[in-house]
């Protein structure tokens, strides 16, 4: 079964970094960073293979201490007897479109991934980079060969709400098929707004911002103060579709949310036998 989520990207980047015998690739894991969260903070100012455009040229960035980074993939080398060394490929993760448009990253996992340099962290607001789509789940298009596009949005790691119209979601098919936005493609939003505060309590995340974003169910709570209340309903759904070549079935799976009381979902499309 082929999946098109965030950790498929991480694993792919790790695999792309393989260049010698005895090398293994992992999706953002190491001896002290377990699981697939992927997020770390630097313990000192250092170069991690990030480049930023300035005056038409890219210059390597020395990131500051305590910078949030996404370990997109790791690579381990060493003899079977021990002494394995792990390196990683780092990015800023999913940041706002304008900022991401000025960045490029190393294509190989070459930065030493050590406890002395990085500490594992979990996002305080885990909904970041989740793509929320309008509706109660995927619906099929007219010939039942794909999901019908619907508007959607996500919250970036650097606190921007990026909204995508139905037409934009149809154009950028990855937005419709994936659960998370990723760094492999920088999707240009239809509209966006800077977020001032994010609060998490149980299954609910509130996102505050100063200007209503057309297309979202904005709730005005004061002068220059709008809010989205995003609640995980913890109910799931699925939908089967038939592609035109009749070779693979297309499936949609999702989790239901509400955004200011309106139905949204967090899901992905995948092919099966």
pLDDT tens by residue, 57-103: 999 999 999 999 999 888 888 766 667 788 899 999 999 999 999 99
- What gap in Å lies between CA 264 and CA 209, rounded to an integer? 20
Task: Select the more confidently predicted residue: 172 or 209.
Answer: 209
The DSSP line for 92-143 is --S--HHHHTTEEE-SS--EE--TTTEEE---SSTTTTB-EEESSS--B-TT
The DSSP symbol for 29 reads -
Q: What radius of gyration, in Å, describes the C-alpha atoms of the chain?
A: 20
H or E stretch covering 11: helix 6-16
Report which of 256, 188, 181, 124 is spatially closest to residue 6, judged by C-alpha positions. 181
Q: What is the mean pLDDT of residues 170-174?
A: 89
Averaged confidence pLDDT in the chain: 85
- In the block, which residue shows the tokens 């119209």? 165
What pLDDT is stored for residue 137 in this prediction? 95
Residue spans of alpha helices (H) in 230-270: none
């Amino acid at each position: 079964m082929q999946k098109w989520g965030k950790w498929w990207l991480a694993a792919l980047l790790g695999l792309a970094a393989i260049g010698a015998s005895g090398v293994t690739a992992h999706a953002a894991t190491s001896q002290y960073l377990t699981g697939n969260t992927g997020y770390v903070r630097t313990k000192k100012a250092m170069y991690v293979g990030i480049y930023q455009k300035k005056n038409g040229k890219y210059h390597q960035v020395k990131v500051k201490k305590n910078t949030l980074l996404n370990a997109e993939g790791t690579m381990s080398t060493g003899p079977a007897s021990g002494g394995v060394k792990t390196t990683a490929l780092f990015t800023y993760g999913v940041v706002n479109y304008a900022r991401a448009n000025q960045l490029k990253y190393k294509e190989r996992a070459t930065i030493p991934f050590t406890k002395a340099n990085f500490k594992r962290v979990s996002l305080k607001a885990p909904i970041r980079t989740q793509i929320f789509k309008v509706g109660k789940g995927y619906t099929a298009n007219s010939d039942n060969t794909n999901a019908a596009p619907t508007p959607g949005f996500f919250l970036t790691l650097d606190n921007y709400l990026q909204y995508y119209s139905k037409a934009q979601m149809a154009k950028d098919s990855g937005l419709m098929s994936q659960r998370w936005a990723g760094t492999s493609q920088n999707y240009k939003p239809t509209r966006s707004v800077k977020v001032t505060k994010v609060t998490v309590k149980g299954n609910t995340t509130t996102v505050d911002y100063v200007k209503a974003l057309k297309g979202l169910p904005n709730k005005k709570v004061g002068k220059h103060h709008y809010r989205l209340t995003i609640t995980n309903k913890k109910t799931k759904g699925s939908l089967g579709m038939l592609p035109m070549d009749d070779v693979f079935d297309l499936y949609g799976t999702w989790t239901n949310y509400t955004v200011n009381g309106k139905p949204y979902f967090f899901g992905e499309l995948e092919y099966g036998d």
